[in-house]
Structure 1
Amino acid sequence: MRVACWNTEWHRAGSWQGAYIRGLMVAGQPELICCPEAHDDFLAPEWYGAFSRPDYGYPLIPGRRKVTLWSRSPWKDVDDLGAAELPTGRFVMGMTTTALGDVRVVGVCVPWADAHVSSGRRDRRKWEDHIRYLQSLRTVLKSVSADCPTIVVGDINQCIPRRAAPVRVYDELQPMLGNLAVWTQGNIAGLDRLPVCHIMGTADLVLTDVHGYSRKMNGRDVSDHDGLMVDVVLDAVSGDFPKM
């Protein structure tokens, strides 16, 4: 199963940046795509979308979502809240059918360091919402059933291993990860820096390949984030999971 993730930086599908991002990802023939900071019509109608709530504390712009999940198959059991403690509008979870059977996908967009510090509601200290999100997400993930493979994907706003984030902030990331395998940590082929978006999953999934999409094209910025693609298979020991 192939999974792609790319923060579109709000570029519309018809812009040259959006067309480039969409074209590159779709050409890779993934079954699942996560696009943080995207519009709810970013992919063609044959893709099934599941979206975070529109209100993330900043002025509402129609169609914008902090997290968009896309599948070749319909979504079911969609949850766009997660937990009341999570900073709003940055989470969506659902089940979809893939070549590996049913998979649960958790789409996230962890607030950046200055979320609601000098813009938005202006009622937070630096890193406050980021830490709050990680702590709440940890609780959500611990409550998720182990009835099928689970993928967590999106904008984590931290490098793994640590680069710019303060140690105290990185230390909050580790408990959230728990037993998840982070398939996009370290240096990624195709990228000139560590990514801040990530794709990770439960132990019943095994990574076979990982590749990055550069945020630049011929010296021009396509996005402020690099894109990612992974291939995973079911662990032979775990066996097949039943259809939900």
Structure 2
Amino acid sequence: MDITVATWNTEWRTPASGAGPRIAATLAAPGFDFIVVTEGVRELLPEQGYTVDAGADWGYPLKPSRRKVIVWSRYPLTEDFVGVEGATLGRLAVATAIGEDGPIRIIGVCIPWRDAHVHTGRGNAHSWSEHLDYLDHLERILPALGNDIPTVIAGDFNQRIPRKGQPQTVADRLREVLADWTIHTCGELPNGPHIDHIATNQHIGLQAVSDWSASDHLGRLSDHAGVACRLVSVGCPRQPTGPVPLLGNPLPQSEPLGNSQQKLSGTPALDHDGHEIETAGALIPELRAEIESILRASGDGLSHGATFRLHEQGLRVDEIADRRGVSLGATRNFLRSLDALLSGTLPTSTSAALTNSYVYRELLNHARSDELDRYVDAQLRRLKSINPEVSFAPLRTRTHQYRVGERKHQ
């Protein structure tokens, strides 16, 4: 599989507007296989292709030609479903295309902005409440879709990644919901900042990312810059070795932690002065055994240790989440971090690097051998080379941040 996916919020431009024909020319550029347009009209999309949209009603006065989400495909497209509940109404479209190498699922999203329905629309919301409600629904929808085919989430996330401007609790919630996904448009791009993003499940990898400006030599095109990713297959879906777990558990019940197949790129990690970081070598069995002993001995307030112990008892992800009283997204996040920890693998995206650093920082609360201390320090330095926000301080109790139904307000 080799596809190019683009997404752009076109700010309701039409063919009759000054910017409309220029936007249409950008979207018609050769090479796009899938386009997710948000706040757009069908008439700006290429004529040759197939479309699915999320509907005309998202709780504001109806304007028949406008759509919050339109999915365009070069290949025949079948609508799976559209959002009808809560904040997903008119803002979520899921469709499957049959490409040259098989089926591809596209999830088009337009996550509400901070003040959706606060002063306009229904007028009964408060800042970020619609955004968080959308993420709550998305957290339930994504596992129900299954994870058997290559899947892309694209559209207007209404968040900068890494966080800038939005409350920490809002950024954390997005990271929880997409814990099993890789967001390829994080960080600085030439024409950013960006709040439109493209994410994929584990069956798809990134070959290249590009973006374009919100304006051209003739003036403003939109209030958003656009992004595109060239994506490739990273292998066939892995078949579970035991019973298929409920609610999208990324680690089958019978599969031990530490079997991650994701490897760090062979490119050496560099510090901020451009010097290669010295590592403490591979994760040898003795170090892994020491890490497992620490996880078994850690208190319940340290989330990775508590999750590890329940996983060792054979509990599924939904059972672990219920037992600990935390969200499914956070539990999946802990399991993926544990899998990376116990296999010695590292991510390549900035958001995943920050998330993975937490499990190493939990280890710093415990007595450990000099060899393990050097190994943990080297891994944290590598993670910091990917995301400068990574800290070397011991991580204290985090459970309260993930309680179901509770959020910190800033």
TM-score using structure 1 length: 0.91
Q: Give the corresponding residue for 1:106.
A: 107
Higher helix share: 2
SS at match of 1:131: helix
Alpha-carbon shift at residue 14 of structure 1 (Å): 4.0
- 1:186 has 2:187 as partner: yes
Q: Deviations over 1:172-209 (max 9, x none)?
A: 11111121110101012x31x32101001011111000
Q: Give the corresponding residue for 2:222.
A: 223
Contact 1:212-1:227 within 8 A present in 2 as well: yes
Alpha-carbon shift at residue 151 of structure 1 (Å): 0.3
Q: Give the corresponding residue for 2:95.
A: 94
Q: Give the corresponding residue for 1:139.
A: 140
Tell me the distance in 2 between the aligned counterparts of 1:77 and 1:88. Answer: 15
Aligned residue pairs total 236
Contact 1:46-1:72 within 8 A present in 2 as well: yes
Q: Give the corresponding residue for 1:78.
A: 80
The percent identity for this pair of structures is 33
Higher strand share: 1
SS at match of 2:43: coil
Contact 2:87-2:112 within 8 A present in 1 as well: no
Alpha-carbon shift at residue 138 of structure 1 (Å): 1.2
Unpaired runs of at least 5, structure 1: 240-244
User: 1:161/1:219 Cα in 2 relative to 1: closer, same or farther (>3 Å)?
Assistant: farther
Tell me the distance in 2 between the aligned counterparts of 1:80 and 1:92. Answer: 4
Q: Give the corresponding residue for 2:48.
A: 46
User: 1:45/1:219 Cα in 2 relative to 1: closer, same or farther (>3 Å)?
Assistant: closer
TM-score using structure 2 length: 0.55
Q: Deviations over 1:71-93 (max 9, x none)?
A: 01221143112x63443110100
Equivalent position amino acid for 1:233 in 2: V
Alpha-carbon shift at residue 145 of structure 1 (Å): 1.5
Decide which of 30, 33, 38 is 2:32's aligned counterpart.
Answer: 30
Q: Give the corresponding residue for 1:55.
A: 57
Contact 2:14-2:41 within 8 A present in 1 as well: yes
Question: Which has the higher mean CA deviation after the structures are superposed, 14-23 or 86-95?
Answer: 14-23
Higher relative contact order, chain-length normalized (CA < 8 Å, sep 6+): 1
- 1:119 has 2:120 as partner: yes
RMSD of the TM alignment (CA)? Answer: 1.7
After TM superposition, where is structure 1 displaced by more than 3 Å over at least 4 residues in a row?
236-239
SS at match of 1:141: helix
User: 1:99/1:22 Cα in 2 relative to 1: closer, same or farther (>3 Å)?
Assistant: farther
Larger Rg, first or second structure (1 or 2): 2
SS at match of 1:36: strand
Q: Give the corresponding residue for 2:160.
A: 159
